[in-house]
Homo-oligomer: A and B are copies of this chain.
Amino acid sequence: MSLVTDADKPTLYKRIRADIEKRILTGEWPPGHRIPFEHELVARYGCSRMTVNKALSELAQADLIERRRRAGSFVRRPQHQSAVLKIADIRAEITALGRSYGYELIGRKLRAATAADRDRLGVKKAGKVVAITCRHSADKVPFAVEDRLIDLSSVPDAAAADFSREPPGSWLLHHVPWTEAEHTISAIVADDRTAEALDIAVGAPCLVIDRYTWRSARTITAVRLLYPGDSHRLVARFKGG
């Protein structure tokens, strides 16, 4: 029940960090404002430079401030435009809900990249690709259909991989470290094929996630996930600051 008694005072660097955070949050130090230099904070708090440095480094890692050599540290533009969107691995997502996970490979083709494939992967010339279509289900009910393209010139091992039991997402996660990715979220209505795969009505809303994954400027994979729009929800939670 206790109303944050705050009996134990936090450590010094955390207090420094909290002090600065509060000033930023309340707008006392607006975006662009230069916060005191390390040596000034050292004087104010009567501690060593490493202590204030730790506080400022964490604020920088949290994207609350930006640090520039010789110039100082500055309050960054508010992040109210960005949220941390947790997009779990589908299997983890389903098991986390306490439901049984089911996976079914619908199709797998190894082929020379077509023009459409190259376009989708965002590469000019590609050798071979693997195209996979599969379905994820929760408690035997279709949860999402996946339509994926893997660039074999980036992930040669994928040619030998059999995706009949392991979903390509999990396989890739364990075989290829990604460095960058982009998600695009949109909505469509189900066409015949989608409706059948998801066991929903034609014309029902679907949430679409297109994900592209790179590894240092090399495209690894492009995947489109279709979820029944009324059943699935993407939750993005974030803390302001």
> Is A5 close to B, CB under 8 A?
no
A230 at the interface (CB under 8 A from B): yes
Chain A interface category by residue count: 35 or more
| Structural contact, B80 and A88, CB atoms closer than 8 A | yes
B174 lies within 8 A of A27 (CB): yes
Residues of B within 8 A of A229 (CB): 186-189, 205
Interface string of A188-232 (1 = CB under 8 A from B): 110000000000000111111000000010000000000101101
- Chain B residues positioned under 8 Å from A123 (CB to CB): none
Does A32 interact with chain B (Cβ within 8 Å)? no
A238 within 8 A of B: yes
Instruction: Flag the segment in A34-42, A131-139, A155-163, A177-185 that touches B.
Output: A177-185
A23 to chain B minimum Cβ distance, whole angstroms, is 10
Assess A80 versus B86: contact at CB under 8 Å? Given A205-B205, A216-B4.
yes
Residue A141 interfacial (CB < 8 Å)? no
Collect the chain B residues with CB atoms within 8 Å of residue A116's CB.
none
- A111 — which chain B residues lie within 8 A by C-beta? none
Q: Is A92 an interface residue (CB 8 A)?
A: yes
Q: State A202–B230 Cα separation when bound (angstroms).
A: 17
Question: Contact: A187 with B187, CB < 8 Å?
Answer: yes
A85 at the interface (CB under 8 A from B): yes
Complex Cα distance, B84 from A79, in Å, reads 10
CB-nearest residue of chain B to A30: B174
Given known A82-B84, A84-B83, A234-B185, contact A240–B207 (CB-CB < 8 A): no
**Nearest 6 CB-CB pairings of A with B:** A187-B229, A80-B88, A187-B187, A85-B85, A183-B236, A187-B205
